[in-house]
């Protein structure tokens, strides 16, 4: 018998080969966890392909997850990074998606784990190798339940990739139209970031952006005049940020807490950013939002393409992504 103090390390591998990222499954095969040799980790629920945990090397959680979140596949997860597809909210006046529930079916469907891949680079500031691991998940029309198929009868394929780095997390979604007719879609990465105190948080990167304010009903488009946005009440805005000096330059959205940059969110081919915090009354009205004062410790920064529709012709594909970086 191997004594407790003499057990080989979980990261031990072929002699001469540097430790590699480890990918494991839960006992019920409902969750996938990836851990870098340096300790960073990500956990993904196959129900909805929902990222439910992202921790740095010290074990500090970067995402907010409700204590009442259902992780048994009975309903969409409150917290983490739920996937919104093919409709944002509800769209009763849009014929193709009018019958779908709020935020569509991607977050309430069971996805298939397609595999992992790793990459290695050498950061400019270090001679140490910087490992990352990418987890791929798939959902197609063939994998939908009968109810979702009846409400959205199109042939499609989704590939969702979650890439864990030393100080970043990238999530990307590829939508393919496998049908013989076009369809319209909206996509959103509904990211719940964890903060210590929402009253000390400011958001930059949205100055001069137009936005729709959804608190109390949908407003006409407005323009944010302030360079920083602070949260002191319920916020539910759909921003269309201005791009940088060139068409390929995207201005990042930065979350600053206590005067220090905490998160930087960079969009790729996603024209909108939803900013959401339920505050007191809305949080109290959400049955799966716990603790009720949890709004003090979370902020949703949600890159997406939701102000209009992406029309995919037969055989076309759409890809959008976000990269979230954090600072210690």
Say whether 102 counts as a known binding-site residue.
Answer: yes
In the three-class reduction of DSSP (H, G, I as helix; E, B as strand; rest coil), residue 106 is classed as: helix
Say whether 237 counts as a known binding-site residue.
Answer: no
103 is known as an active-site residue: no
200: CB partners within 8 A, 6+ apart: 257, 258
190 is known as an active-site residue: yes
* C-alpha pair distances (Å), 145 with each of 90, 95, 109, 113: 20, 20, 8, 18
CA dihedral (236, 240, 242, 246) in degrees, to 10, reads 140
Say whether 110 counts as a known binding-site residue.
Answer: no
Q: 41: which 2 tokens? A: 């980790």
Task: Round to whole Å and give the CA distance between 123 and 2.
Answer: 38
- Determine the distance from the C-alpha atom of residue 47 to the mean position of all C-alpha atoms in its chain, rounded to a whole number: 14
**Catalytic option among 40, 103, 190, 257:** 190
Please choose, from the candidates 45, 63, 47, 23, the residue with its C-alpha nearest in 3D space to the C-alpha of residue 322.
Answer: 63
Q: 164: which 2 tokens? A: 């864990």
> Where do the DSSP E strands lie in 15-103?
22-25, 31-35, 41-45, 50-55, 83-84
Cβ-based burial of 301 (10 A; exposed 0-12, middle 13-18, buried ≥19): buried
Task: Round to whole Å and give the CA distance between 313 and 49.
Answer: 26
> For 237-269, what is the HEC assignment?
EEEECCCCCCCCCCCCEEEEECCEEEEEEEEEC
**Catalytic option among 61, 302, 313, 319:** 302
Binding residues for substrate: 78, 102, 107
Active-site residues: which are they?
190, 302
Binding residues: 78, 102, 107
């Amino acid at each position: 018998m191997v004594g407790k103090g003499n057990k080989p390390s979980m990261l031990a591998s072929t002699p001469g080969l540097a430790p590699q990222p480890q990918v494991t499954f839960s006992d019920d095969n409902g969750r996938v966890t990836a851990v870098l040799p340096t300790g960073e980790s990500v956990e993904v629920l196959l129900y909805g392909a929902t990222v439910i945990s992202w921790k740095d090397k010290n074990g500090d959680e970067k995402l907010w997850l409700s204590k009442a979140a259902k992780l048994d596949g009975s309903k969409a997860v409150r917290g983490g990074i739920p996937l919104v597809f093919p409709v944002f909210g509800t769209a009763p006046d849009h014929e193709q998606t009018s019958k779908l529930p709020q935020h569509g079916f991607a977050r309430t469907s069971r996805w298939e784990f397609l595999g992992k891949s790793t990459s290695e680079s050498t950061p400019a500031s270090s001679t140490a190798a910087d490992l990352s691991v990418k987890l791929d998940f798939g959902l197609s029309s063939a994998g939908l339940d009968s109810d979702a198929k009846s409400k959205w009868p199109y042939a499609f394929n989704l590939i969702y990739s979650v890439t864990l780095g030393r100080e970043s997390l990238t999530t990307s979604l590829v939508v393919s139209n496998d049908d013989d007719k076009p369809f319209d879609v909206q996509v959103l990465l509904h990211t719940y970031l964890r903060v210590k105190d929402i009253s000390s948080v400011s958001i930059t990167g949205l100055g001069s952006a137009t936005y729709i304010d959804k608190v109390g009903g949908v407003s006409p488009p407005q323009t944010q005049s302030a360079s920083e946005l602070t949260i002191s009440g319920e916020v539910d805005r759909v921003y269309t940020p201005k791009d940088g000096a060139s068409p390929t330059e995207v201005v990042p959205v930065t979350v600053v807490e206590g005067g220090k940059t905490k998160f930087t969110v960079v969009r790729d081919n996603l024209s909108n950013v939803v900013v959401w915090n339920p505050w007191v009354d809305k949080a109290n009205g959400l049955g799966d939002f716990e603790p009720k004062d949890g709004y003090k410790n979370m902020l949703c920064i949600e890159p997406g393409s939701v102000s209009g529709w992406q029309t995919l012709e037969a055989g076309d594909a759409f890809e959008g992504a976000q990269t979230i970086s954090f600072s210690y």
